[in-house]
């Protein structure tokens, strides 16, 4: 096979022509079923609505919700009319949303009413207090000068915000010819997606991904799973993450597979969907599979139709993999490794790889993907079996970080190699094992948490003099966060007051589970804090952290 030279919209249109009556997506909980012909027509209408609203090619449209049908349709509609979809983490609070909208230069925000008890509308009103005064839906905000319009995914009446039906009405004045003309102006090398990922500086960076990036990554992911139009892929992972919108929807759409979708993860909902829709593939991070396998009613559900799927996001315990294969029946499940900056998958196991390779490694590099393992200090390539930093080059490497040339230069060298910051070892057969991280990223249940970001926030607490965040092992989530805090002299501070300070200000998964107070940190002679010693100290504490 060769790399595809197509846009996201072209992929949808092709399947609508070839397999018009084949199911494109199903929402079992919503009793919603759509064919590829429906999917094409729906995304055309949405694309026209974007054009009718005055959204130009290259404009940034942020989207903030769980896996709603509107999110799915927006992903492919923007891919037809040239807007750039900016994905927003569902857990974000006001501080994080404001930063993302400002840094991304988003002109439009699409949002649901809320998520897990958090009112998105209240948050938006807190950062755009003048919404009530908006005329004709035009947003005016001193904090967010680029933001022009806000669209709600429902028909709830909210002053200054477009209802979904009002948004869709903008399609009426846009002809098929106008949409066709807009689509013809697009190139596979255009940026279609900006996804935010934190860095060691603590400030999220917008990863710019093109049609070529995600269409081809999705296609190759699906090829490794042997997906066809006969497959039905259950996708309970969030769309705002590459796992959902590339390993999930794009891998399925590039193979005309049927997407079986859940708005939010729930183990029973997943098991019911697999049984009722006769799913052949299931995606999830290890904690999701564990929740499904350990549910008291697991044996009541028929999962015998499962063949494949993807487990990614964090290391897969071998016992979990064995149960997914033996108890669920997904004997061709695969493991993926990558990062947002690489669209995201770099390596993947194959459906017929031995179980040991599917647990002890992250597979081999994808086709059209170069990988080398180097000494992070000298840059020299390391011999087989020796650890070093994994670097990758190819079609899948991002276009860069939005409005951050310095960070882009740090991540991608002059020869086009993306430096992942991960320590890896390659064996004689070409399989790769990720053994550690140069960056101090903590992976909690598949979510990357960057200590510096949480530290920067906790520094704003009036009673905290210094704080260091480290990861400690956890049997459920892989890792949990621990905060080592040096209080300010005379400050009255305890664990609960720190957590209360965090709640409602940063995402719940970034709130440290464990908090310890100390007078000093272990330091090197040059004055650098030794985080590895803080981790060792954590493990020596009387609290066992669930190990």
Please indicate, yes or no, whether residues 64 and 153 belong to a single structural domain of this protein. yes
Distances (CA, A) of 402 to 306, 415, 487, 530: 39, 20, 37, 32
Banded model confidence at residue 489, pLDDT cuts 50, 70, 90: confident
User: For the CA atoms of the chain, what is the radius of gyration?
Assistant: 23
Q: Is the pLDDT of residue 182 over 50?
A: yes
Q: What is the mean pLDDT of residues 62-79?
A: 98
The per-residue pLDDT for range 496-505, each reduced to its tens digit, is 999 999 999 9
pLDDT cut 90: percent of the chain above it: 75
For residue 482, what are the domain limits?
443-540
Among the candidates 177, 205, 233, a domain finishes at: 205
Do 252 and 351 reside in the same domain of the chain? Answer: yes
| 3-class state of residue 26 by DSSP | strand
Domain-located, residue 88? yes
DSSP category for residue 382 = P
Q: Which two tokens stand for residue 532?
A: 């590895």
In a shared domain, residues 54 and 198: yes
pLDDT higher than threshold 70 for residue 447: yes
At 201, the pLDDT band (50, 70, 90 cuts) reads very low
Tell me the three-class secondary structure of 149-181, residue by residue.
EEEECCCCCCCCCECHHHHHHHHCCCCHHHHHH
Question: What does the pLDDT read at residue 526?
Answer: 37
Whether pLDDT at 392 is above 80: yes
Query: What's the CA gap between 196 and 204, in Å, rounded?
Result: 6
| Residues 16-57 pLDDT 10s | 999 999 999 999 999 999 999 999 999 999 999 999 999 999
Q: How far apart are CA 331 and CA 337, in angstroms?
A: 19
Does residue 294 sit in the same domain as residue 223? Answer: yes
Based on the fold, state whether residues 55 and 200 are members of the same structural domain: yes
User: Is residue 416 one of the residues assigned to a domain?
Assistant: no
Residues 222 and 334 grouped into a single domain:
yes
Contact yes or no for 365/432 (Cβ under 8 A) = yes
Tally Cβ neighbours within 10 Å of residue 10.
17
Residue 48 contacts residue 78 (beta carbons within 8 Å): no
Q: Does 166 share its domain with 258?
A: no
What pLDDT band is residue 251 in, cutting at 50, 70 and 90?
Answer: very high
The domain boundary residue, chosen from 174, 205, 236: 205
pLDDT in tens, 87-105: 999 989 999 999 999 999 9
Whether 527 has a pLDDT exceeding 60, the answer reads no
Please tell me the predicted confidence (pLDDT) of residue 199. 44
Best-predicted range by mean pLDDT among 304-318, 366-380, 467-481? 366-380
378 domain-assigned: no
Check if the beta carbon of residue 493 is closer than 8 Å to that of residue 487: yes
Give the pLDDT of residue 135.
Answer: 67
Residues 401 and 252 in one domain: yes
Asked if residue 141 belongs to a domain, the reply is yes
Q: What is the pLDDT of residue 32?
A: 98
Q: How many CA atoms lie within 13 A of 208 on its CB side?
A: 19
Q: Is residue 546 part of a domain?
A: no
Instruction: Give the model's pLDDT for residue 86.
Output: 98
Report whether 327 contacts 317 (CB < 8 A): no
pLDDT tens digit sequence for 327-350 = 999 999 999 999 999 999 999 999
The pLDDT-based confidence of 202 (bands split at 50, 70, 90) is low
Count the domains in the chain: 3
Tell me the average pLDDT across 307-331: 88
For residue 546, is pLDDT > 50?
no
H, E, C per residue of 366-391: CCCEEEEEECCCCCCECCCCCCEEEE
Mean pLDDT in residue range 249-260: 98
* Consecutive H or E run containing 220: helix 211-225
Q: Tell me, yes or no, whether 420 lies in a domain.
A: no
* Cα 172 from chain centroid (whole Å): 33
267-276 helix and 286-293 helix, angle to the nearest 10 degrees: 80
CA angle 294, 300, 306 (to 5 degrees): 80
pLDDT, averaged across the chain: 92
Residue 437, pLDDT score: 66
The CATH number covering residue 330 comes to 3.40.50.12780
69 and 38 within one domain = yes
For residue 60, pLDDT beyond 60: yes
| Least confident among 131-140, 381-390, 457-466 | 131-140
pLDDT at 371: 98
pTM of the model: 0.84
pLDDT tens-place string over residues 397-426: 999 999 999 999 999 999 999 999 988 999
What is the band of 547 on the pLDDT scale with cuts at 50, 70, 90?
A: very low
Structural domain contains residue 1: no
Listed residues 170, 205, 240: the one ending a domain: 205
The answer to whether residues 219 and 337 belong to one domain is yes
Same domain, 233 and 161: no
Same domain, 179 and 227: no
In a domain, 3, yes or no: no
pLDDT digits (tens, 9 = 90+) for 255-274: 999 999 999 999 999 999 99
- Three-class SS state of 106: coil
Predicted pLDDT of residue 439: 64
């Amino acid at each position: 096979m060769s790399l595809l030279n197509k846009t996201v919209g072209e992929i949808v249109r092709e399947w609508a022509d070839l397999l018009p009556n084949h199911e494109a997506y199903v929402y079992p909980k919503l009793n919603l079923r759509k064919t590829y012909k429906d999917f094409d027509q729906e995304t055309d209408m949405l694309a026209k609505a974007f054009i009718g609203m005055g959204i130009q090619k290259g404009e940034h449209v942020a989207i903030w919700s769980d896996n709603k049908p509107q999110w799915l349709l927006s992903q492919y509609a923007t891919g037809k009319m040239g807007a750039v979809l900016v994905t927003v983490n569902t857990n974000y609070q006001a501080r994080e949303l404001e930063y993302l909208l400002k840094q991304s230069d988003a002109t439009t925000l699409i949002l649901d009413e809320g998520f897990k008890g958090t009112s998105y509308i209240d948050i938006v009103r807190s950062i755009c207090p003048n919404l009530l005064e908006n005329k004709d839906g035009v947003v005016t905000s001193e904090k967010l000068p680029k933001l022009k319009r806000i669209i709600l995914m429902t028909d709830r009446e909210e002053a200054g915000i477009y209802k979904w039906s009002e948004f869709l009405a903008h399609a009426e004045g846009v002809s098929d010819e106008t949409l066709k003309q807009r689509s013809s102006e697009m190139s596979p090398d255009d940026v279609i997606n900006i996804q935010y990922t934190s860095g060691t500086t603590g400030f999220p960076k917008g990863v710019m991904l093109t049609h070529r990036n995600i269409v081809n990554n999705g296609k190759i992911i699906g090829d490794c799973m042997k997906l066809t139009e006969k497959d039905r892929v259950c996708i309970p992972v969030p769309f705002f993450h590459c796992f959902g919108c590339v390993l999930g929807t794009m891998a399925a759409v590039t193979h005309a597979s049927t997407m079986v979708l859940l708005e939010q993860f729930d183990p029973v909902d997943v098991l019911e969907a697999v049984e009722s829709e006769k799913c052949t593939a299931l995606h999830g991070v290890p904690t999701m599979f564990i929740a499904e396998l350990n549910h008291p009613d697991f044996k009541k559900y028929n999962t015998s139709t499962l063949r494949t799927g993807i487990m990614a996001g964090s290391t897969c315990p071998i016992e979990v993999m064995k149960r997914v294969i033996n108890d669920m029946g997904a004997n061709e499940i695969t493991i993926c490794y990558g990062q947002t900056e690489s669209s995201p998958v770099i390596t993947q196991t194959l459906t017929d790889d031995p179980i040991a390779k599917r647990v002890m490694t992250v597979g081999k590099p994808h086709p059209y993907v170069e990988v080398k393992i180097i000494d992070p200090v000298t840059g020299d390539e390391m011999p087989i079996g020796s650890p070093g930093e994994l670097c990758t080059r190819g079609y899948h490497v991002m276009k860069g970080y939005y409005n951050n040339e310095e960070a882009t230069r740090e991540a991608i060298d002059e020869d086009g190699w993306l430096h992942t910051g991960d320590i890896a070892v390659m064996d004689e057969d070409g399989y790769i094992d990720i053994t550690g991280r140069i960056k101090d990223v903590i992976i909690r249940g598949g979510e990357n948490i960057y200590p510096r970001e949480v530290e920067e926030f906790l520094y704003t607490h009036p009673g905290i003099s210094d704080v260091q965040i480290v990861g400690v092992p956890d049997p459920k989530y892989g890792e949990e966060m621990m905060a080592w805090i040096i209080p300010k002299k005379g400050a009255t501070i305890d664990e609960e007051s720190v957590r209360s300070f965090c709640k409602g200000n940063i995402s719940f998964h970034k709130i440290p589970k464990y908090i310890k107070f100390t007078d000093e940190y272990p330091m090197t002679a040059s004055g650098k804090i030794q985080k590895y010693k803080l981790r060792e100290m954590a493990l020596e504490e009387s609290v066992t952290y669930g190990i």
